[in-house]
Structure 1
Amino acid sequence: MTRSSRTGQRMRISRVRLGRDEYRVLWPDRPPRRAFLFDDGGWALAMYVDGEAAAVLAVAWGLAARSRHSLVHLPMRANLPPEEPAPDSGVEPLDLVLVHHSMRFPPSRWPAVRARLGTGRPHTVSPPGDVFPDAGMIDHDRVAHREYHDHLHFAVAARTLFVVGGPEAFLRTGATMIRPLVTEAPAHLAERPDGHFCAEIDFGRRRRSGRLHVEYRPTWAL
Structure 2
Amino acid sequence: MRRMKLAVTVHHVRLGPVEFKVVRPAEPPARAVLLDRDRHVDACLDQDAAYLIGGLWTLAASSPRSLVHLPIRGNHAPARGLPEAGARQLDLVLLHHSLQFAPARWKELRARLGPGRPQTVTLTVSGPALTGASPAEDEARHHRENRDLFHEHLHAETLFMTGSTKVFRATAHHFFDVARYGPGHMAAHPRHGHFCSELHTTAGVLGAAREIHIEYCDRWRPHG
Q: RMSD in angstroms over aligned alpha carbons? A: 2.5
State the partner residue of 1:171.
169
What is the rounded CA distance, in whole Å, between the counterparts of 2:69 and 2:128 in structure 1? 19
SS at structure 2 position matched to 1:90: coil
8 Å Cα contact 2:40-2:213 kept in structure 1: yes
Letter in 2 for 1:196: H
Instruction: With the length of structure 1 as denominator, give the TM-score of the two structures.
Output: 0.87
Letter in 1 for 2:72: M
State the partner residue of 1:184.
181
Q: Describe the shift of the 1:132–1:167 C-alpha distance in structure 2 as closer, same or farther (beyond 3 A).
A: farther
Gaps of 5+ in 2: none
8 Å Cα contact 1:24-1:70 kept in structure 2: yes
Listed as ranges, the matches of 1:33-48 within 5 Å are 33-40=30-37, 42-48=38-44
Listed as ranges, the matches of 1:1-222 within 5 Å are 8-40=5-37, 42-83=38-79, 85=82, 89-127=85-123, 129=125, 134-138=130-134, 139-175=137-173, 177-193=174-190, 194-202=192-200, 210-222=210-222
SS at structure 1 position matched to 2:146: coil
Q: Describe the shift of the 1:206–1:22 C-alpha distance in structure 2 as closer, same or farther (beyond 3 A).
A: closer
* Deviation of 1:148 (Å): 1.5
SS at structure 2 position matched to 1:163: strand
Q: How many equivalent residue pairs?
A: 215
8 Å Cα contact 1:36-1:49 kept in structure 2: yes
Letter in 1 for 2:29: P
Can you list the C-alpha shifts for 1:151-175, whole angstroms capped at 9, x where unaligned?
Answer: 1111111000000000111111113
What is the rounded CA distance, in whole Å, between the counterparts of 2:95 and 2:127 in structure 1? 16
What is the rounded CA distance, in whole Å, between the counterparts of 1:208 and 1:115 in structure 2? 27
Percent identity between the two aligned chains: 38
Q: Describe the shift of the 1:81–1:128 C-alpha distance in structure 2 as closer, same or farther (beyond 3 A).
A: farther
Can you list the C-alpha shifts for 1:71-100, whole angstroms capped at 9, x where unaligned?
Answer: 0000001111113747x7123211000000
What is the rounded CA distance, in whole Å, between the counterparts of 2:22 and 2:79 in structure 1? 31
* Deviation of 1:33 (Å): 0.5
Letter in 1 for 2:101: F
Letter in 2 for 1:116: R
* Deviation of 1:124 (Å): 1.0
What is the rounded CA distance, in whole Å, between the counterparts of 1:54 and 1:11 in structure 2? 16
* Deviation of 1:133 (Å): 9.0
Q: Describe the shift of the 1:132–1:171 C-alpha distance in structure 2 as closer, same or farther (beyond 3 A).
A: farther
What is the rounded CA distance, in whole Å, between the counterparts of 1:145 and 1:163 in structure 2? 21
* Deviation of 1:206 (Å): 6.5
Gaps of 5+ in 1: none
8 Å Cα contact 2:35-2:43 kept in structure 1: yes
8 Å Cα contact 1:181-1:199 kept in structure 2: yes
* Deviation of 1:184 (Å): 2.0
